[in-house]
Amino acid sequence: MIKNKLLKSLLSSAIKLNITNALKEDLGSSDLTSNLLKNNIKGQAEIKIKEKAIFCGRLWVEECFKQIDKNIKIVWFAKDGDKLEKNQTVCVIKGLFKSILKGERVALNFLQLLSGTATSTAHLNDLIKSTPTKLFDTRKTAPGLRVAQKYAVLVGGGNNQRIGLFDQVLLKENHKAVYGSIKKMLENINDLKNIQVEVENIKEFNEVLKYRVKNILLDNFSIRDLKKAVEQNKGQSVLEASGNINEKNILQYAKTGVDRISVGSITKNIKAIDYSMLFSGQRPS
């Protein structure tokens, strides 16, 4: 599932931190409402999805209830990446009602966000499946949830751009502004083999090609100019298109022959997937 080795190494610690912070945010010092219930009431709760979507977030749900009460048991009927139908049962959670209630909103929040990311990724990926172009994400993620959303992109069939500023070099327009031009910027970089350079027009693209840059990001190129760049490139560099690409035009961009398309909307313009948790069990005496 996880093709990105760096993401895999970061995932476990990220999940624990995500849940710790979310529970602290939601519970504070205590769950005042659940404290009104008797301590020994046990039962179970079902999580159901209320619309068609790609399921994602199982690890976050497990960590949520693990941190609250290690005696809670979860029986799963779905795994990350499954295509779920409306009203399908995702899992059954068994244990003390107080414990389950404490984690209800946090668990559902992660499911709705990550399933939303995976579903939007899968939708765009499906639109370009007839082409060899690969769909990539960006760093436009919810603060503190970078790793979680990058994981959800993989679940939805997409690919990860750099995780952060620490794992890949990408020289963009603001870096160029330091030197005043693409040419001067590249002349001041010692090793250009393993970097990506953003260009904003054909003139800059041709300038970068001279330096044998491995990966070129074509920002806000028209489809006509993108075709021209692909033709001039002749397979020398990996070409990635980005900027104002959406479900209405992504196939047209992919048909230019560009290697990659990166879309920020799959992680920043999220339509949350609707989940609910329904309880049943013993009544208090």
Q: Are strands 53-54 and 83-84 parallel, antiparallel or unpaired?
A: antiparallel
Residue partners of 104: CB distance under 8 A and separation at least 6: 45, 277
The conformation of residue 236, written as its DSSP 8-state character, comes to S
Please tell me the distance from the alpha carbon of residue 99 to that of residue 39, in angstroms, as a whole number.
9
From residue 201, alpha-carbon distances to 28, 153, 182, 222, 274 in Å are 51, 29, 11, 9, 42
Q: Please check whether residue 266 is in contact with residue 121, taking contact to mean a CB–CB distance below 8 angstroms.
A: yes
Q: Please check whether residue 150 is in contact with residue 113, taking contact to mean a CB–CB distance below 8 angstroms.
A: no
Helix, coil or strand: residue 219: strand
Q: Please check whether residue 242 is in contact with residue 222, taking contact to mean a CB–CB distance below 8 angstroms.
A: no
Q: Please check whether residue 111 is in contact with residue 88, taking contact to mean a CB–CB distance below 8 angstroms.
A: no
Give the rounded distance of the alpha carbon of 124 from its chain centre: 13
The conformation of residue 110, written as its DSSP 8-state character, comes to H
What are residue 242's DSSP bridge partners?
219, 262
Q: Please check whether residue 209 is in contact with residue 187, taking contact to mean a CB–CB distance below 8 angstroms.
A: no
Exposed/middle/buried for residue 48 (C-beta within 10 Å: 0-12, 13-18, 19+):
middle
| Tokens of residue 180, six digits | 């005043």
**Which residues belong to the active site?**
105, 140, 172, 198, 219
